[in-house]
Chains A and B, each alone.
Chain A
Amino acid sequence: MIEKKNEHIKAGLMFASPGLFFFAMVVLIPFFYGFYLTLTNWNGVVNEKTFVGLSNYIITINDPEFWNSMLLTLKYVVWVVLLVNIIGFVLGYLLTNGLKGQNFFRSGFFTPNLIGGIVLGFIWEFLFSRVFVAIGKSSGFESLTSSWLSSPDTAFWALVIVTVWQLVGYMMLIYISGFTSMSRDVLEAASIDGATGLRKVKDVIFPLMMPSVVICTFLTLQRAFMVYDINLTLTNGGPFKSTVLVAMHVYDKAFTERLYGIGQAEAIFLFLVVAIISVIQVKTGRSREVEA
């Protein structure tokens, strides 16, 4: 027994310790240290931290700007999740039906995912502020004649459009792998039983695709809640701070205003929201899955 225990410890040191060390140093320790930081008023410069109790949480709870930003983020996440999954699902369906050149289209649609958010934001900033305006002026298309980035409402939609444009190809790939692994027999049996068109989609295909829907929704949620770089280079929170998503709010609070304790308290609220939504989403999704 003791020998076995020693063997476990020896192997642990040999195999697990390097990985666990970096995981602990970068994820676990900072995560718990973060809770301690919320109880202080650290300003990022001096090493001294004064203990301030729960006041950072109280300040955060009473900060309308933060909750506006959280609300805006929720609205953004809902639209991104819906659009990315609907378009991704449809594309996945269309590109598994033996369309000519479907492999070419698949790789093409995935391309935006290879590009970092910083560059994406800049590319679309140019499109919205120059190209679309030029199109609007030459075609007389009213809603394009002034840049979408210069008014709060359209700037929000610009953010949604760019995110959807980036993520759709990724989710399409996951849906494609779902569609290809769906057995032909089930589909044929359904057709023979008289299920066609929309009914086939709703009663046969959709339940069988539930695992893919769960994965895609989870991945889109994660990405959308944490988006920062597209927000930074596309709108930079503007115009008039109207498009500051919550990740940017946390960043600015901590690193621009130098209110680290408050910034971290906001980050913990973000963590709670993400954790609760992820758990609910995975649970409800799983319960709708069926065995094929």
Chain B
Amino acid sequence: MAKANQVKSTKEKIISTIFTLIVIVLFLCVLFPFVMIILNSFKAKIDIIKDPLSLSPTKGFSFQNFIDAFVGMHYLRAFGNSLFVTGFATLITITFSSMLAYYLVRYKNPFTTFMSNWIVASMIIPFQALMIPLVSIYGAKFGILNSRITLVLMHVGFSMALGTFIYQGFIKSNIPKALEEAALIDGASQYGIFFKIVFPLLGPTTATLIILNVLAFWNDYLLPTLVLSKKELLTLPLTTYTFYGTYSANYGVIMAALVLTVLPILILYFVLQRKIIDGVVSGAVK
């Protein structure tokens, strides 16, 4: 008996070592690109061209690339634009989609059933099927492109379906109607009931949606590039793209620009890791 156990445990040990090895190898594959970019962002152009892997470049390491990239890509301005667009779009999406979901769950009539179905169905429409009409309507007809507000409101429209869908599921199964009825008897207004009683209870879902939306808005390229063309309005991904076009031969500066672009989101991830991972999972599984 004791021997059998021993055999089993050595076998288990070998298996677990193999598992660990697989995980470590894959993990190094994920890490490698980041290491390369960071390493080379501190090097001079000739050293990168000579040997991107070298750990002892002839010209040494310096922060010069970061200074050049920071100034050249108007980092603060682009960062500010991204912050403006992401912040307002997330705030408005959360407010409007929770209100819409609340209505669709609490008021059952033919119209709400119809709208609920459309909202779910619309999620399989690829963005490519909407972008041309979008430019045609809001660019050629109304001429309201090239404005950060337009971009914010378009983000809101596009994220309404997912937000409403996720909130609907949560309200249906987690928010008792009795609570609202009691408040109604106490004479609370309809907005009062929603914002003071219902909305605070939606906390976990709100956190999930904030995370999903912030990541999507912050990193989006295609919609912003269709809406914004004025230099002063460009968000970080757009600036990175144009900056690359002008400096493409100057690898060091480009690497520094890439590091600067990813840095804010990585810092955020470092602080909110658990929340972000939970948010992404519950957003997908629902």
The residues in A between 248 and 269 inclusive whose CB is less than 8 angstroms from any CB of B are 250-251, 254-255, 260, 263-264, 267-268
- What number of A-B contacts does a CB cutoff of 8 Å give? 255
**A26-B158, A107-B273, A122-B244 known; 15 other A-B pairs, CB under 8 Å?**
A8-B107, A14-B191, A18-B100, A19-B99, A22-B96, A25-B153, A42-B136, A109-B30, A111-B266, A123-B36, A138-B53, A173-B284, A176-B281, A225-B126, A264-B129
Are the CB atoms of B128 and A119 closer together than 8 Å?
A: no
Q: Are B102 and A122 within 8 A (Cβ)?
A: no
User: Within the assembled complex, what's the spacing in Å between the Cα atoms of A225 and B281?
Assistant: 21
- Number of contacting residues on A, CB 8 A? 89
Contact B129 A31 (CB under 8 A): yes
Instruction: Name 11 A/B residue pairs within 8 A (Cβ), A-sorted.
Output: A15-B100, A20-B100, A22-B157, A26-B157, A94-B19, A108-B27, A126-B254, A127-B33, A174-B285, A228-B128, A270-B128
Query: Which of A64-72, A184-192, A271-279, A284-292 lies at the binding interface?
Result: A271-279
When chains A and B are docked, how far (Å) is the Cα of A225 from the Cα of B128?
A: 10
Name A212-252 residues within 8 Å CB distance of B: 215, 219, 222, 225-226, 228-229, 232-233, 246-247, 250-251
Binding site for A on B (CB under 8 A): 16, 19-20, 22-23, 26-27, 29-31, 33-34, 36-37, 40, 48-49, 51-53, 96-97, 99-100, 102-104, 106-107, 109, 111-112, 115, 118-119, 122, 124-137, 140-141, 153-154, 156-158, 160-161, 164, 190-191, 194, 215, 218-222, 226, 237, 240-241, 244, 251, 254-255, 258, 261-262, 265-266, 269, 273, 276-277, 280-281, 284-285
What is the chain B residue whose CB lies nearest that of A40?
B136
List 5 A-B pairs, minimum CB-CB distance, nearest first: A26-B157, A116-B219, A19-B100, A30-B133, A19-B96
Q: Which of B30, B37, B100 contacts A165 (CB 8 A)?
A: B30
Which chain B residues lie closer than 8 Å to A130 at the CB level? 48-49, 52, 251
